[in-house]
Amino acid sequence: MDPFFPHLLQEHARQVSSLSLSTLFAQDPERFARFSLRCHDLLLDYSKNRLTAETLSLLCAWAQESGVEQARDDLFNGVRCNWTEQRAALHPALRDVREDAVYLLDGQDVMPEIRKQLHRVKEFSNRFRAGELCGAEGRPLRNLINIGIGGSHLGPEMISQALAPYGQSGPEVRFVSNMDGADFLEAVRGLHPAETLFVLASKTFSTRETLLNTDAALRWLQEGGIVGRAQSQHLVAVTAVPQRAQAFGIAPEHIFAIWDWVGGRYSWCSAISLSVAVRIGFTQFAQMLAGAHALDHHFRTAPLSSNMPVVMGLIGIWNRLLEGAATQAILPYDHSLRRFPAYLQQCDMESNGKRINRAGEVVNYPTGPILWGEVCSNAQHSFFQLLHQGTHAVAIDFIGCANSHHTLKEHHQELMANFLAQSEVLMRGRTPAEVAADLRADALSAEEISRLLPHRVFPGNRCSNTLLLPLL
């Protein structure tokens, strides 16, 4: 018995443990319709999990009894739900671009200051993209290098890559995070100091890796003939501690604010993504915030059983109980999402991997899953053999886009065919009879078929979610 799960849910897991996905689909032709959700233009298909309507009912009842709805409301209402640091986690306010939006923290509306900083991001990014910002030598700044780590790096870098098609006419934007000097040298390769701006993204402005790379940036500027106070024209800071940035020599008008109630891994929707606004343009940046707010609104208002984030979370817990899945593979079928698994690793594992409960006790049950993944179809030729035939239980999320930005349409058609086929093969498997038929079609001898057959069988019954977007 796992002490984390209520008795009713554990008993139900025993009852459905013998069910096969193929049987569930055969018994219910409407299974996809029953176990899929739409939110705006997103489609979640969770029908390829070993669950029934009773499973979902039990999971939602448990979520309700556990206070999920109250915790969700606390998040949006400015309650200090980051209780170890006694801070709110009001990042949804950063994404709410409505003119009349109000978010209270200790009785004060935080939106006026958010709108002020957002307006500054708009003006700065527009001027940078228009070539109106100049460096110390009077030459327009054409290149931007974001120096940060963790939440000040993973989110902006991931988004900059994901939405690159919207920034094809924009400035060169690069990212540095690693303490290894090779990362910095690669970022500045081919750039001219007189045309380069560094954005120092650090919530505390004390992170060792960021300061080390900032020192390297100052030396690189100096080697390029930009010395002393002139360097300040090539530096911008985004921080919750502006006095440290000023003490470092950065002009107040070059300091953008974030706040201590913004967790680093959620800070991409603040001025921390100044680099993104420069890369793709503020209009696109604002549309991204509006899309995030739309999903926030869905999360805040939809019933638990039709709430896409809630259902995905509950399925993850269910797969831990029923399948024993200790890891979760994030598999984007879009090359532009190649940094998405790395971003999600921090977003999820930094919170859900902790072993101490609110009473300060060590928990006696498994904490959150280990997230990993790779862009497909590379992954199909890397670790899919383990997913199909291995002994490890892995929760899998497939992410695909029905349309692509590029013009190689035949590539995208094949990619989407693979996207759809992989989840089906994981679910159905390949039986000995099917394998034998394929081998006979290859004109192999009976002896050779007998030898190869066990190595080509896929057991199936491997669970997965499919998340489909019309376009990235």
Across residues 106-115, what is the average pLDDT? 96
Residue 131 has pLDDT above 80, yes or no: yes
- Residues of the chain with pLDDT > 90, as a percent, come to 92
Q: Which two tokens stand for residue 99?
A: 């003119």
- How do residues 373-408 score in pLDDT, each as one tens digit? 999 989 999 999 999 999 999 999 999 999 999 999
Residue 99's CB is within 10 A of a number of other CB atoms, namely 7
pLDDT of residue 2: 72
- Residue-level pLDDT at 83: 85
Q: Report pLDDT for 1.
A: 58
As a whole number of angstroms, the distance between CA 353 and CA 347 comes to 11
Q: Distance (Å, rounded) from C-alpha 152 to C-alpha 173?
A: 15
Using the predicted structure, report yes or no on whether residue 52 has a pLDDT greater than 90: yes
Write out pLDDT tens, residues 321-370. 899 999 999 999 999 999 999 999 999 998 888 899 888 999 988 888 99
Q: Are 30 and 47 in contact (CB under 8 A)?
A: no
Which is it for strands 465-469 and 42-45: parallel, antiparallel or unpaired? antiparallel
Q: What is the pLDDT of residues 167-226, one digit of tens each?
A: 888 899 999 999 999 999 999 999 999 999 999 999 999 999 999 999 999 999 999 999
Q: Which has the closest alpha carbon to 25: 333, 460, 386, 392?
A: 460
- Evaluate whether 204 touches 239 at the Cβ level (below 8 Å): yes
pLDDT for position 332 = 98
Contact at 8 Å (CB) between 200 and 214?
A: yes
The residue-averaged pLDDT of 12-17 equals: 95
Laid out side by side, the sheet with 143-147 consists of: 172-176, 143-147, 196-201, 235-239, 255-257
What is the torsion angle, in degrees rounded to the nearest 10, for the CA atoms of residue 311, residue 315, residue 321 and residue 327?
A: -130
Q: Give the sign of the dihedral formed by CA 255, CA 258, CA 263, CA 265.
A: negative
pLDDT, tens only, 404-431: 999 999 999 999 999 999 999 999 999 9
Q: What is the mean pLDDT of the chain?
A: 95
Please name the helix (run of DSSP H) or strand (run of DSSP E) that holds residue 362, with its range, or none: none
Give the residue-averaged pLDDT of 87-101.
94
- Report d(CA 406, CA 68) in Å as an integer: 41
Instruction: Answer yes or no: are the C-beta atoms of 398 and 467 closer than 8 Å.
Output: yes
- DSSP 8-state class, residue 407: S
Is residue 148 within 8 Å of residue 201, measured between CB atoms?
Answer: yes
Q: Taking a C-beta distance cutoff of 8 angstroms, is the pair 467, 399 a contact? A: yes
pLDDT digits (tens, 9 = 90+) for 230-276: 999 999 999 999 999 999 989 999 999 999 999 999 999 999 999 99
Mean per-residue pLDDT for 118-134?
A: 97
* Distance from the first to the final alpha carbon of the chain: 43
pLDDT for 358 equals: 84
The single-letter DSSP state of residue 134 is B
